[in-house]
Structure 1
């Protein structure tokens, strides 16, 4: 129903898209960009500009020249040094897009080229911004005395967000010193704070209204604040409304992307084939401006050691600054990358010990009372609801795995195959909802609920959602707790002038943090309702249910308290002619607590499965000397993974007493590994990198021939 409502709103003109915004005296802004991956900016030479065209640079910013994300910064406009190809240097403002585009071709920037790091494997010019190590036991001795050593290197590629509308902003400065900004942002109050700081004005003088987000994969988390500040600067300078809107190719080539991760494993097995020692080293590429660094490092580190028992273990993790566009959030902040490496490596251990993947996982998963390297002692088994067993039963995994394995062993090479060979893979992992440690409380998410004299209710909440699905859950919550009809409940559109600061809409916070805070506010009204006259208004701010001790520097304590789990099976067949992979079926079993609206939850998971398959099998972003080309853009636009295979979803642990937990990132945590393992079985070639495109698979198989 939510998707129908979203479509209806769009068709009836109720949705506000940035592309459609217009004013009679509106100006347009165009970004002038650095043309080197790393360079000192010597001089910018402008042509003679017409009176109705202007150019702004860093020196024209009245306030701070940066966006601040939890203490880490990135510039609004680069001043002396460009750290990646495409970094904004200035803004050209004029009455028509065509005119300023033509003038932009006459702007000349001279550079002094500097050494650049544009590849994760070439670390000579990269800068280590964070380095963490945690160890339990004598790793050198344990590896030396192991019965068998297994090494592996696993890579996850950079991912673009492929959102429906490119990044942009519309700003209108008023004569009274105030400014209004329209922005498609997951974090409207962060946009307001950034614009106010850049223009050196009170936050109360800046109003930010949200436009439609669409499906964004976290691509509109922080960068809209940069673009909004640029548009606001242009509007303040000209005194007119200004629209700054990237075209699709510009957005693809220069906007932030998802992180890139490489994980190196050395595992020791005992005589029974169980994991006795592991030396793990993870390297994370954060691009030119590391943001959310501690959160990403925490999530990657925790996910690498979360589930499997290992007495002797060393974890080393590094985050690098390179000369690529900023790399951070994309369908989460790192958990999926670590999960791919873990599950792929674990399945290799099972194969080498000639054990069924499910049997090996069950034997080595952490149990109640045991303690992972990172986190507290477990109060329940890692797979307490036997998600692996349920997924295996639903997909007939054991029988298919044995049959496909026999077929693989009987053929001498993939090139001899006539009919597309099949494979099946299974993976298990989790999603952590909300920020780690005390950061969630520091964000300070607040909601207001008001009940009027006529019995109607209004939610004043600044949380932004990409569809009506989340709001329908909030509406149900208000209706149930306050005993008010759905039709008597209204929502204030996210607007910093009227709605509360709910923090960023990321990491399933809308369904966990905001939902719980709304419920707390409703219960407070319920207690007061028959003792105090209407209207009643209650404001509540999120608080963690218990004290969370987390030391990010030492990787010590419990980083996350709200966890959801999933197991997934993917079955594929691979064409021996085109090397294309067709998905025959996907089965996913989810433990995410109470499911408030099953239809909406199913739709979210289905969408997540398609996104995860795209990342695993099609969507490849490859920078050449720090650049993406027009050909890269067109190739990526047509690389979306298409499948008509059935997706089977099962929910467990869905009791009335269970709290709702996040589930939107679960497909990204389990589908890529299951897909890669299925392709491995189908081809007989060990897949350790995603995306595994037909071109990648062809090169692998021809290399082995």
Structure 2
């Protein structure tokens, strides 16, 4: 954050939706169903005062649907209620306390209906997406194996804290509806708000509060609240502030089941996997998440015979996709757990096993694409092994646990150490334009100023400064002559979400392309000069999503982590003294922001490992973070998001299993679960 913005926030000069008010403003409170599933029969209201209004689905001025990728979600339910807490109406009035009292008096009549079937029933109607990677013959590979190993793992996804809260303030100024909020997807938010209110996209203006880090699992959650606020403002002709509430939390799990064949040297001869993902009541975003989950579950290791199946299934819980990292890191969890299991069972050091079995240049990757360049993971693993003293610590901890029955004195605690590797790509794997679209328009004005229409939200305020610096260098103009416009109220332009580091990598590239063309034209053509550059989606020859064949990522990033754990014998209290994390992501545009981002993701990963325990500042470990760079300085920047999430959880669970002597197969882990025998 720049010094001025930091100062303004401390001084209270930054306006958040919760801070904004006006004399004619009314509050809006959603009415939510308390039972599900069922059919909405009627809503019985008490006698409402003249200053209180209630709106149902039929009162929405425009369309009462939010068409997300893969499935539509109703803004307000008018017939079938699929989960408890689904919005069925909207109360508005000047006093929020009065709204809460009136809401308690409203009766919602619901006729019960059957729930979605469990995933074991394999009902296709409740399966919004499924993917499969198939290579060779697993039957033949298992026949060649000297031993067959099986493993089942469970990853429970914690509720990611929403920062900032999904507060929304909307006012009407002339014919324009002005929204104050935060969003990672301004283009879709504008489109769906205009669609719900029955107005033009140009009539929606957005002011973004300078928020901190948000996570992709909340990428769309500001859209329904914003659409309701715009609709209420359109009907009442008054400013509206929507009251944000905490929704009920549900347990969300991903289940992994692996079968692996290994030869006498510990090499994979066959790999079978079946993974099930709970998508919630609606299957929106399922295709992309399931594709990335399938790719992550296939792993990074050589195997000629492979069959990976991933299915999502619906349940009567709130929709919650996409996951943080959109599934790739979560897919890596299962295969990294299995990799450690194979190494230990075959008598190998897990670090050495990984280096020996990683795919390299000339091999076929899991999706049958020929690897053009050897990934840097082997060197990263060797570097971390040396920095953390992994080989010695792993052998010592294993020996102590093996001989614990003959120890004369029981130690006050045990230690364990684990390792995991992962990759991440910033491209979306589906061809849905809602996700993949990205464009930048730059105009060099007669006065010499440059207006850059972005239509995206930067990952950090420092990126805006970097973009200005790059533009200033390319066009030889002062930075104060450059105007970066994040809100792009164009009727036809559309950009995908700001996630997976796309808003850094893709938009940096597009800005550079615009500047290059303008520089060539500026002394040949008259001003103003406008150039627009769009992101080119890869062809089916490069990546075939339906068949899962080809090269999924053009410039992947790589990560490797070692986690050290201390476990107290009596209380089973878990401490993480140190984490070593190595990241290879090409050129770093903003090193301080990159480190800050990774540290935040490490904390999120620890929350996934230990739930609320990891939130305590005293538990945050000593982090040894190193960014690996190529000898070539021209290496393009890669994505950072998901590398800590893809490596720390499996490394943590390996370390805890070694320290406790219990075969732990799921997360989160805490003292209570260890005292009861583990997961």
Kindly indicate whether the alpha-carbon contact (under 8 Å) linking 1:172 and 1:242 is maintained by their aligned counterparts in 2: yes
Deviation at 1:262, TM superposition (A): 1.2
Q: Would you say the 8 A contact 1:447–1:501 is kept in 2? A: no
1:190-269 pair list within 5 angstroms: 190-247=188-245, 250-251=246-247, 253=248, 260-269=253-262
CA contact (8 A) 1:593 1:655 kept: no
Matches of 2:242 and 2:417, distance apart in 1: 47
Q: Deviations over 1:249-287 (max 9, x none)?
A: x24x26xx9963211101111122211111111111110
Which residue in 1 is equivalent to 2:674? Answer: 697
Residues 37, 85 of structure 1: 8 Å contact kept: yes
Q: 1:485, CA displacement in angstroms?
A: 4.4
Secondary structure of the 2:216 match is coil
2:402 counterpart (409, 418, 422): 409
Q: Is the 8 A contact 2:607 2:614 kept in 1?
A: no
Per the TM alignment, residue 335 of structure 1 is displaced from its structure 2 partner at its CA by: 0.9
1:136 aligned to 2:129?
Answer: no
SS in 2 for 1:105: helix
User: Is residue 543 from structure 1 mapped to residue 536 from structure 2 by the alignment?
Assistant: yes
What is the rounded CA distance, in whole Å, between the counterparts of 1:175 and 1:482 in structure 2?
38
Q: 1:661 maps to which residue? A: 638
Cα distance change, pair 437–330 in 1 and its aligned pair in 2 (3 A): closer
Query: What is the deviation of 1:112?
Result: 2.2
Match of 1:686 in 2: 663
How much has 1:160 moved relative to structure 2?
A: 1.9
Partner residue, 1:629: none
- Distance in 1 (alpha carbons) for counterparts of 2:24 and 2:353: 67
1: CA distance, partners of 2:530 / 2:111: 60
TM-superposed deviation, 1:122: 8.6
> What is the aligned counterpart of 1:184 among 158, 182, 185?
182
1:643 maps onto 2:624 in alignment? no
Deviations 1:479-517 (A, max 9, x none): 332344445444334353699643211111111111111
| Mapping 1:200-599, distance limit 5 Å | 200-247=198-245, 250-251=246-247, 253=248, 260-383=253-376, 386-412=379-405, 417-439=410-432, 443-452=436-445, 455-494=448-487, 496=489, 501-532=494-525, 535-544=528-537, 549-599=542-592
Report if the CA contact (8 A) 2:200-2:491 is conserved.
no
Distance 2:251 2:537 in 1: 28
| Alignment deviations for residues 11-50 of structure 1 (CA, whole Å, 9 cap, x no partner) | 2455331111211111111111111241222221110011
CA contact (8 A) 1:182 1:211 kept: yes
Q: Call closer, same or farther: CA 1:679–1:71 in 2, change over 3 Å.
A: closer
Residue 288 of structure 1, CA deviation: 0.7
- In the superposition, relative to structure 1, how do residues 121 and 395 fare at CA in structure 2: closer, same or farther (>3 Å)? farther
Which residue of the partner structure matches residue 166 of structure 2? Answer: 167
The Cα offsets for residues 364-416 of structure 1, whole Å up to 9 and x where unpaired, read as 11121111232511112234661111111221211221222222212139998
Query: C-alpha separation between the residues in 2 aligned to 1:478 and 1:155?
Result: 47
Quick check: 2:453–2:484 contact (8 Å CA) kept in 1? Answer: yes
Offset at residue 117 of structure 1 (A): 4.8
Please tell me whether the aligned partners of residues 457 and 488 of structure 1 are also in contact (alpha carbons under 8 angstroms). yes
Higher mean alpha-carbon deviation, 296-305 vs 414-423, is at 414-423
Distance 1:142 1:385 in 2: 25
Q: Does 1:652 align with 2:645?
A: no
CA distance in 2, matches of 1:124, 1:191: 33
Q: Cα 1:105–1:421, aligned 2, differ >3 Å: closer, same or farther?
A: same
Correspondence 1:69 to 2:62:
no
Using the size of structure 1 for normalisation, the TM-score is: 0.90
Instruction: Assess, with a 3 A threshold, how the Cα gap between structure 1 residues 561 and 183 changes in structure 2: closer, same or farther.
Output: same
CA displacement at 1:439 relative to structure 2: 4.0
Matches within 5 A, 1:95-114: 95-114=94-113
Secondary structure at 2:627's aligned position in 1? Answer: strand
Cα deviation for residue 443 of structure 1 reads 3.6
**Change in 2 beyond 3 A, CA 1:394/1:455:** farther
SS of 1:50's partner is coil
* Further displaced range: 500-509 or 530-539: 530-539
Answer whether contact 1:209 1:496 (CA < 8 A) is retained. no
Q: For the structure 1 residues 233 and 455, does the alpha-carbon distance in structure 2 shift closer, same or farther, using more than 3 Å as the test? A: closer
Cα RMSD (Å): 2.9
Change (3 A) 1:218 1:609: same
TM-score normalised over the length of structure 2: 0.93
Cα 1:175–1:603 shift into 2, 3 Å: closer
Residue 560 to residue 137, structure 1, CA distance change in 2 (3 Å)? same
Would the aligned equivalents of 2:131 and 2:291 in 1 still touch at CA under 8 Å? Answer: no
Which residue, out of 595, 598, 601, partners 1:602?
595
1:653 CA displacement: 2.1
Report if aligned partners of 2:415, 2:659 keep a CA contact under 8 Å in 1: yes
Q: CA deviation at 1:545?
A: 7.3
Contact 2:611/2:668, CA 8 A, preserved across alignment: yes
Gap runs ≥5 in structure 2: none
Rounded to whole Å, the distance in 2 between the matches of 1:524 and 1:502 is: 21
How far, CA to CA, are the matches of 2:525 and 2:408 in structure 1? 78
Deviation (angstroms), 1:530: 3.6
| SS, match of residue 327 in structure 1 | coil
CA contact (8 A) 1:259 1:330 kept: no
Match of 2:91 in 1: 92
Contact 2:169–2:180 (CA under 8 A) maintained in structure 1: yes
In structure 1, how many angstroms separate the alpha carbons of the residues matched to 2:143 and 2:231? 61
Question: What does residue 78 of structure 1 align with?
Answer: 77
Greater displacement, 280-289 / 123-132: 123-132
